[in-house]
Structure 1
Amino acid sequence: MQDWRKLYETPPESGVLFYNEKVMDHFRHPRNVGEIPEADGVALVGDPRCGDHIRLYIKVKDDRITELRYKVFGCAAAIATTSILSELAIGRRIEEALEITDDEVIKAAGGIPSGKAHCSLLGVVGLHYAISDYLRRKGEGTTGDKR
């Protein structure tokens, strides 16, 4: 029986998925995992093609994201890129957080296999929808997905 962990660390020439050290670190030790009981904005997004889904929570103070937590049911790339997204978003103003793209997340990750690029989009869409939920609750309307 093959050790499944080796699949994630096999060199790209093997034709098997390859994740760099930063992605593997965020997969093994994801940052900011969890829930925010009294979140200012919440979103649930998923990808019906692969079955991955994310519930994302934000806390906002003075128009800045002060806390972002999430729960991911998905692959290594979905977990790692959402972890990286959380680090990118915390501390940003709402307008700045809405400008985060999946390309920015992939770049911050140091790259991910092209077949897994859609995984980085889940967290970004979740963030945009959580911000939209926050603005709706605040009475400022919605921004929608800014991709």
Structure 2
Amino acid sequence: MDHFMHPRNVGEIPDADGIGKVGNPTCGDIMAMYIKVKDNVIVDCKFKTFGCGAAIATSSMTTELVKGKTLEQALEISKKTVAEALDGLPPQKMHCSNLAADALHAAIDHYKCKKDGWSCPFSKEGTIPMAGKK
């Protein structure tokens, strides 16, 4: 409840190294995750979320979990990691933790595409259309 009532790291990083945007067509939640990377470590992470309290809380918690982690460590963050860090989520809200992890992973993928000059399967901002759709 604390991360819903007092979300951390809300906003954008204007010069973000990676941006991941995801959405769930069933519930209408939309998340954008912004990361700043230095020497393979995520030094800053912010989010903007349009959605329910669980979507806001999972986004906020994800930004807290990821700061100071290497990219490889950050990729290990899963919906279970996020839900456990919030002391659990109701089953009908678990998709929110999925979206938060998906947004983070999309931001990391976007960063890697930009850094390595890959042909990125995402749009210029790391968007994954309809992520989380079952």
SS in 1 for 2:63: helix
The reply on whether 1:135 has 2:120 as its aligned counterpart is no
| Corresponding residue for residue 45 of structure 2 | 68
Distance 1:85 1:58 in 2: 11
How far has the Cα of 1:140 moved from its partner? Answer: 6.1
| Matches for 1:101-120 after TM superposition, within 5 Å | 101-120=78-97
| Corresponding residue for residue 5 of structure 1 | none
Distance 1:105 1:89 in 2: 10
- Deviating above 3 A after TM superposition, structure 1's stretches of 4 or more consecutive aligned residues are none
Amino acid at match of 1:92: K
The reply on whether 1:95 has 2:68 as its aligned counterpart is no
Give the TM-score taking structure 2 as reference length.
0.87
SS in 2 for 1:116: helix
The reply on whether 1:77 has 2:59 as its aligned counterpart is no
- CA distances 1:14-63 after superposition (whole Å, capped 9, x unpaired): xxxxxxxxxx1100110010000000001110000000000110000010
The reply on whether 1:51 has 2:39 as its aligned counterpart is no
The number of equivalent residue pairs is 122
Bigger RCO (CA 8 Å, 6+ sep):
2
**Larger of the two Rg values belongs to structure:** 1
SS in 1 for 2:7: coil
Give the TM-score taking structure 1 as reference length.
0.79
Distance 1:92 1:48 in 2: 30
SS in 2 for 1:33: coil
- Give RMSD over aligned pairs: 1.7
- CA distances 1:76-114 after superposition (whole Å, capped 9, x unpaired): 000001111111101000000001000011111000111
Identity %: 51
SS in 2 for 1:112: coil
How far has the Cα of 1:134 moved from its partner? Answer: 0.3
Amino acid at match of 2:16: A
